[in-house]
């Protein structure tokens, strides 16, 4: 068995050799331009949209070989584990939403990470006080049981047409032969450089030769290529019942930290029993009727589907298509504020909490909350939640719960195939770089997803549904969404990374397409606002520097600048079997939209 402490003291001694054997290729010998990114593509045979061209190409390769949307989604996700390792990978989890064209139904997989079976509500407490967030992030204590490998296998078993080994081949090849480092990868590495150096295995992999990767150099990950090959050969049982799982457990419980760094990498308490007990959850999606369309998303443990759905229900009474830009944004902001107030009070893991999902998504409840919105004055936060079980007009009750921090560098992919099947899949290792801990010799980072739990109740007198518990899933904001028309055929599918801003990004994109009539790629590119029941609404520069900000401030809104919110992708069904794929034009360096057979 590989022990995680094996190379603690040798990273500097071997750093010169690392460049030649494969953590990353020499920047001068194999420099090449990055693959081009195209934010929109139209054509036949299926479509893939992700943040990365190599990952989108992996999905397209599977579609071209006759695979379906599920096969292509897993292939794309595995490739993102290579090229976007700070956002996703087999050390994390996610939520998978699937539209089956034959039955015209939407199914979902909850592949969220779980807390160890020994965890309780004091998981992040020491000496009666909550651990500082920064002290918990880069630790074994923050690592949940990974759900991504099980999600891939579940999706393929239920709806795929290819074996796991077949769809992993493009990603294995990419890890072995490398991808071109771009500005985004280098800047994300730089932002994590200090904590990456705490962990010798992470530094060896992501700081080749002890330095930041050079833009234009070829970055290889032969350890991950071998790991993918092992999964292809042995299946995901290698993680949940085998040696690979043993390596994960050893790494979590004895984080391989550089003893000279002085970093307290608090050990976790993950066990082989936790891995063996892990199961994905096949569950019904959330459903919201909006403008005659049916909006489907993921149900709790994620709050994405309920919160986007409630906000849409609140907006149903307003004709946003005819509203001025200021009135549209005012209503959008207020609907988000109200929905987040209810999210904080009511949504947690339904295996542990009594989550009123049906009531949160009722139009009756939305109407009782919508009447709080005034056209001549902004609401103030923190706003108290309502009670969806007993709706009362304009009523609020209890104490407002602040929105907990969630890491923003998740990733989202959207896929459609020639048969009309669609996948919207968001996967994550939490914040950029996850826990910062690489499993030695395995080539992937572990998540820090357990920091999505509340460390302590916001108000001891009010029940917090998001406290840790044994085997519990922390609340998420992930919101992969598929919209169907009245004939139960796809209209559009979207999703985004961005922590809690995922909800507002998906909501704004949907209303941009459905209400404002924007082309999907322009709805994705539009400058964003995000209100999460906070004192200030975050605005991207395109809104912060505009006249509409002054119009909204006159109503009492308060704003702060956020340089970048989310990184969405989507697909849209067009007439005659065509698909449109769309991704970001600029955020995260731009996204990558591809189709099997392009047309003008």
Question: Which own/partner pairs from 328-331 qualify as long-range (CB within 8 Å, at least 24 positions apart)?
Answer: 328/511, 328/515, 328/516, 329/529, 329/543, 329/548, 329/552, 330/375, 330/378, 330/552, 330/555, 330/557, 331/373
User: What's the pLDDT tens digit per position in 486-529?
Assistant: 999 999 999 999 999 999 999 999 999 999 999 999 999 999 99
Backbone phi and psi for residue 114, each to the nearest 5 degrees, phi listed first? -125, 150
Residue 31 has pLDDT above 60, yes or no: no
Q: Which residues are catalytic?
A: 410
User: What's the pLDDT tens digit per position in 411-469?
Assistant: 999 999 999 999 999 999 999 999 999 999 999 999 999 999 999 887 777 889 999 99
Q: Which residue has the tokens 């007198």?
A: 461
CA-to-CA dists, residue 169 to 154, 323, 445, 564, angstroms = 18, 49, 20, 33
- Three-point CA angle 183, 184, 185, nearest 5°: 95
> What value does the mean pLDDT take over residues 23-43?
65
**Cβ burial, residue 105 (10 Å; 0-12/13-18/19+):** middle
Question: Nearest 10 degrees: CA dihedral of 382, 383, 386, 392?
Answer: 160
pLDDT of 26? 35
pTM of the model: 0.93
**Average pLDDT of every residue of the chain:** 92
Percent of the chain residues past pLDDT 70, beyond the cut: 92
Residue 25 has pLDDT above 90, yes or no: no
Residue 36 has pLDDT above 90, yes or no: no
**Cβ burial, residue 422 (10 Å; 0-12/13-18/19+):** buried
What is the Cα–Cα distance from 102 to 194, expressed in whole angstroms? 50
What is the Cα–Cα distance from 66 to 49, expressed in whole angstroms? 18
Per-residue b or e along 71-80, where b marks 16 or more CB atoms closer than 10 Å to that residue's CB: bbbbbbbbbb
What confidence category does residue 15 fall into, taking pLDDT thresholds of 50, 70 and 90?
Answer: very low
Residues 6 or more apart from 55 whose CB is under 8 A from it? 76, 77, 79, 80, 82, 83, 84, 413, 592
Q: Under CATH, which number does the domain 285-406+459-562 receive?
A: 1.10.246.130
pLDDT of 153? 98
Nearest to 45 by CA among 421, 413, 592, 493: 421
What is the Cα–Cα distance from 371 to 357, expressed in whole angstroms? 21
DSSP E strands: which ranges in 86-186?
93-100, 105-111, 125-126, 129-130, 179-180
> What value does the mean pLDDT take over residues 325-349?
97
Q: What residue segments make up the domains of the chain, in order of their start?
A: 285-406+459-562
Per-residue b or e along 239-258, where b marks 16 or more CB atoms closer than 10 Å to that residue's CB: bbebebbbbbbbbbbebbbb
pLDDT of 370? 97
Residue 4 has pLDDT above 50, yes or no: no
Q: Which residue has the tokens 């920064």?
A: 134
DSSP E strands: which ranges in 209-313?
218-219, 281-283, 286-290, 293-297
Beta-bridge partners for 493:
482, 571
Residue 8 has pLDDT above 80, yes or no: no
pLDDT of 9? 26
What is the Cα–Cα distance from 67 to 385, expressed in whole angstroms? 46
CA-to-CA dists, residue 41 to 55, 415, 439, 451, angstroms = 15, 13, 37, 37
């Amino acid at each position: 068995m590989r022990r995680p402490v094996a190379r603690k003291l040798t990273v500097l001694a071997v750093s010169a050799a690392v460049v030649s054997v494969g953590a990353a290729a020499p920047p001068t010998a194999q420099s090449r331009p990055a693959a081009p990114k195209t934010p929109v593509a139209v054509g036949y045979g299926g479509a893939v949209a992700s943040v990365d061209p190599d990952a989108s190409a992996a999905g397209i390769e599977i579609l071209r070989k006759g695979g379906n949307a599920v096969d292509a989604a897993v292939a794309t996700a595995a490739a993102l584990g290579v090229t976007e390792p700070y956002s996703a990978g087999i050390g994390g989890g996610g939520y998978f939403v699937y539209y089956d064209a034959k039955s015209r139904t939407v199914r979902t997989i909850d592949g969220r990470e779980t807390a160890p079976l020994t965890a309780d509500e004091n998981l992040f407490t020491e000496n009666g006080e909550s651990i500082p967030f920064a002290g918990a992030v880069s630790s074994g204590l923050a690592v949940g049981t990974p759900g991504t490998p099980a999600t891939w296998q579940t999706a393929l078993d239920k709806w795929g047409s290819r074996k796991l080994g077949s769809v992993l081949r493009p990603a294995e090849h990419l890890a072995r032969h490398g991808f071109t480092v771009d500005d985004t990868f280098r800047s994300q590495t730089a932002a994590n450089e200090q904590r990456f150096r705490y962990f010798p295995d992470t530094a060896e992999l992501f700081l080749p030769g002890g330095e930041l990767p050079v833009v234009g150099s070829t970055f290889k990950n032969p350890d991950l290529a071998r790991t993918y090959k092992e999964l292809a050969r042995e299946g995901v049982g290698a993680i949940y019942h085998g040696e690979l799982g043993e390596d994960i457990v050893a790494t979590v419980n004895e984080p391989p930290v550089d003893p000279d760094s002085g970093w307290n990498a608090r050990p976790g308490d993950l066990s082989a029993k936790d891995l063996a007990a892990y199961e994905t959850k096949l569950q019904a999606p959330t459903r919201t009727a909006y403008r005659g369309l049916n909006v489907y998303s993921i149900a709790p443990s994620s709050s994405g589907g309920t919160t986007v759905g409630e906000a849409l229900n609140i907006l149903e009474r307003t004709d946003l298509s005819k509203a001025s830009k200021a009135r549209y944004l005012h209503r959008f902001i207020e609907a988000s504020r109200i929905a987040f107030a209810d999210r904080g009070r009511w949504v947690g893991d339904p295996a542990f909490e009594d989550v009123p999902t049906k009531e949160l998504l009722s139009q009756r409840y939305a109407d009782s909350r919508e009447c709080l919105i005034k056209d001549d004055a902004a609401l103030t936060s923190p706003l108290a939640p309502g009670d969806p079980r007993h709706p009362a007009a304009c009523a609020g009750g209890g104490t407002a719960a602040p929105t907990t921090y969630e890491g923003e560098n998740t990733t989202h992919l959207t896929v459609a195939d020639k048969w009309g099947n669609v996948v919207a899949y968001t996967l994550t290792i939490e914040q950029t770089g996850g826990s910062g801990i690489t499993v030695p010799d395995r080539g992937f980072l572990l998540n820090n997803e357990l920091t999505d739990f509340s460390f302590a109740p916001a108000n001891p007198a009010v029940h917090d549904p998001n406290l840790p518990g044994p085997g519990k899933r922390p609340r998420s904001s992930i919101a992969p969404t598929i919209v169907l028309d009245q004939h139960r055929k796809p209209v559009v599918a979207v999703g985004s990374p961005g922590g809690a801003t995922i909800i507002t990004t998906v909501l704004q994109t949907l209303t941009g397409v459905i209400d404002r009539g924007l082309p999907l790629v322009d709805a994705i590119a539009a400058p964003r606002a995000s209100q999460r029941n906070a004192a200030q609404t975050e605005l991207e520069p395109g809104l912060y520097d505009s006249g509409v900000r002054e119009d909204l401030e006159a109503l009492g809104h308060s704003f702060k600048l956020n340089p970048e919110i989310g990184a969405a992708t989507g697909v849209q069904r067009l007439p005659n079997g065509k698909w449109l794929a769309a991704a970001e034009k600029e955020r995260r360096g731009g996204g990558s939209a591809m189709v099997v057979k392009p047309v003008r």
